[in-house]
Structure 1
Amino acid sequence: MTRYGYAAMNVTLREENVRTNRGMQKATFEERGLDYVGELAEKNCQGLKRIVEWNLDHDIHYYRIASDLLPWFSRYDFDDLPNAAEIRCLLEEVGALAREHDMRLTFHPDHFVKLASNKEDVVERSVTDLENHGVLLDAMKLSRTPYNAINIHIGAHYGDKEATGERFCEHFQRLSPAVQDRLTVENDDTNSLWSVPELIDAVHDRIDIPITYDDFHHQFTSRGLTRREALTDAAETWETTPIIHYSESRRLHEADPSIRPQNHSDYVAGPIRTYGTNADVMLEAKQKELAVLRYRDDATST
């Protein structure tokens, strides 16, 4: 049965100041150090637990965790934090809730992660960021499978797609099993970038990682495939329940041609089709859990 999820912020709980993304500027980090980092990280993880509990109360069993749980995580090791034990305990509690209630928890590191870059410093930073996501999922004791995915984009072609695909696969070998075994890659929303069939050829067929199908992005990189064809091809790369992303254009919802076509709407109208794949659907709508609840309610009432 298809599950609908959302990413990062819970709009309802934000009104109670429940957050998972407390951070700081670089100057503050350098001035206040790991004591303050730990304080914010612990509050973020408390917020994560509260959101997971809220999701379970509202029968939402799919959630994408914000990547900035631990501020400036690239600058220290987890156990360097003075309250690492308390934070680890909170993460274990979140993981226990997820396992007990079969809630799917995933990550989507930001666009600065460019594993296929031709610049070594960018690759090193990308590897560090991905490894930190693996550390967090391991701390939650969640599966080292794409069920608990770390989803990224290749996100560039550097003037030579074939060489870029080869670099991605080469740099993939630098990742630990905590990341390799969870990594997925997603089609892009720009025609010159990566489509589902290109990702299957360049990545899946070489290193056997799954392809996350983004329905909205497919409109910009269809390569002549229908939605059914692209989704089905992507779903066949998964050995566990596939993930698809779904969003709609704010330009169409608001009938405003001045809005960038790729901008996401607040809610979605659907219908969302999974074409028999039973994929889990990440709703990338601006109103987050409210969009999930509205769509789910509308779908069951029709």
Structure 2
Amino acid sequence: MMIVRLGYVAMSMELKNASPSKTMTFAQFQKIEDREAAIRKLERIALENLENTLRLLKHNVFNDIHFYRLTSRLIPLANHEELSGWDYMRPLKGKLREIGEFVRKHDLRVDFHPDHFVVLNSPKPDVLINSLRTLKLHYMLLKGMKIDPTHRCVLHVGGNYKETETSLERFVTNWSEVPSPIQQLIMLENDDTSFTLEDTLFLCEKLGIPLVFDYHHHLAHHREASWEDQWDRVTTTWKGSPLPIKMHISSPKSQKEFRHHADYVDADMFFRFLNGIKGSVPQIDCMIEAKQKDEALFTLIREIEKREEVEIIDGSSFYIK
């Protein structure tokens, strides 16, 4: 039997007043005449985000949820060019340690998925530099939590620039500019418009990067191609990872808006995937990318409980027979 664990992204629909992504724009920052006071306000917002992150993790443990995506917006303006001298990590060390201790105590899997502006195959040097700076922030947050940063950050391949082969080659070239600790941080995901499963596998196999398979993206972009024929290659990219294989699951909002994520996950669609891979790996962690966040997870597990081919483990995990 194969273990399936469900996770969700960043926000809870059930836990109130617990946003981990509160922010301040640079325009708002500039309106505060005392710069030091403005920086202290940024730090208070960041600490509140971290406190809400801890609340969310406690909510997850209470509900037997073992897999969670941290928001990349924990520290507002962390990498803004006008705040280059701000040591934002210093006031956060205690709270980061507390989060890390909780994660380790309850054996939770946490990771990140930075925003679309992190582009490692960009032809523009400044975009690559800014992308590496953002990835370093994620690395430092994980180190501050004393969590092994290996394979904790999902990225898309980047921009296609109307030439797939050249864009893939540029990723390989730019990879040599990525420091080794940051390389170890990264997983790659197939996307819904530019880089197919086959394209992403090319990079993952060449550079030794785990591939996070997004089933919905594959159907949106390349549905005529069989993902099943490539599954062994996907699992092989995870052979050197300390973590179980992970994938993304979501459902189309509608046939007309197929690429957009629905509020919830279609259980039949999910099980078409699971039945295609059962027995191929001992465990798979499935990150739900649905608008209703944890409520989508709760709804899905209630539907899964009714299926004969599963044995429920707890509030977010089950065996598929």
TM over 0.5: yes
Structure 2: segments with no counterpart, 5+ residues: 33-37, 308-321
SS in 2 for 1:2: strand
Amino acid at match of 1:80: D
Cα offset for 1:85? 4.5
Between the aligned partners of 1:180 and 1:78, the Cα distance in structure 2 is: 26
Hey, what's the Cα distance between the residues in 2 that align with 1:31 and 1:80? 21
Alpha-carbon contact 2:120-2:158 (below 8 Å) kept = no
Q: Alpha carbon RMSD of aligned pairs, Å?
A: 1.9
| Unpaired runs of at least 5, structure 1 | none
Decide which of 173, 180, 184 is 1:181's aligned counterpart: 184
Pairing of 1:268-283 with structure 2 (within 5 A):
268-271=265-268, 272=270, 273-274=273-274, 275-276=277-278, 277=281, 278-283=283-288
Inter-partner Cα distance in structure 2 for 1:238 and 1:176: 21
1:142-193 deviation per Cα after TM superposition (whole angstroms, max 9, x unaligned): 11321xx211112322233222222212322333343211201111111xx1
Q: Distance in 1 between matches of 2:229 and 2:148?
A: 29
* Pair 1:197-2:205 in alignment: no
Q: State whether structure 2 residue 87 is matched by structure 1 residue 80.
A: yes
Task: Tell me which residue corresponds to 2:10.
Answer: 8
Structure 2 residue aligned with 1:59 = 64
1:99 CA displacement: 1.6
Alignment CA distance shift 1:6-1:174 (3 Å): same
Q: How far 1:223 sits from its partner (Å)?
A: 7.0
Same amino acid, percent of matched pairs:
30
Contact 2:154–2:188 (Cα < 8 Å) also in 1 = yes
Q: Distance in 2 between matches of 1:85 and 1:45?
A: 14
Shift of 1:125: 1.2
Equivalence map 1:201-240=2 (5 Å): 201=202, 203-222=203-222, 224-239=224-239, 240=241
1:263 and 2:260 correspond: yes
* Paired residues of 2:13 and 2:292 also in contact (CA < 8 A): yes
**TM-score, structure 1 length as denominator?**
0.89
Secondary structure of the structure 1 residue equivalent to 2:169: helix
Residue 35 of structure 2: aligned partner:
none
Deviation at 1:86, TM superposition (A): 4.6
Letter in structure 1 aligned against 2:169:
E
Contact 1:11 1:287 in 2 (8 A): yes
Higher relative contact order (CA 8 A, sep 6+): 2
Q: CA–CA distance in 1 between the matches of 2:60 and 2:292?
A: 15
8 A Cα contact 1:63 1:104, kept in partner: yes
* Contact 2:10–2:69 (CA under 8 A) maintained in structure 1: yes
Amino acid at match of 1:265: A
Equivalent pair of 1:44/1:69 in contact (CA under 8 Å): yes
Q: TM-score, normalised by structure 2?
A: 0.84
The answer as to 2:145 corresponding to 1:140 is yes
Moved >6 Å (runs of 4+): none
Report the equivalent of 2:310.
none
Q: How many residues align?
A: 287
2:316 maps to what in 1? none
SS at match of 1:99: helix
Q: How much does 1:134 deviate?
A: 0.9
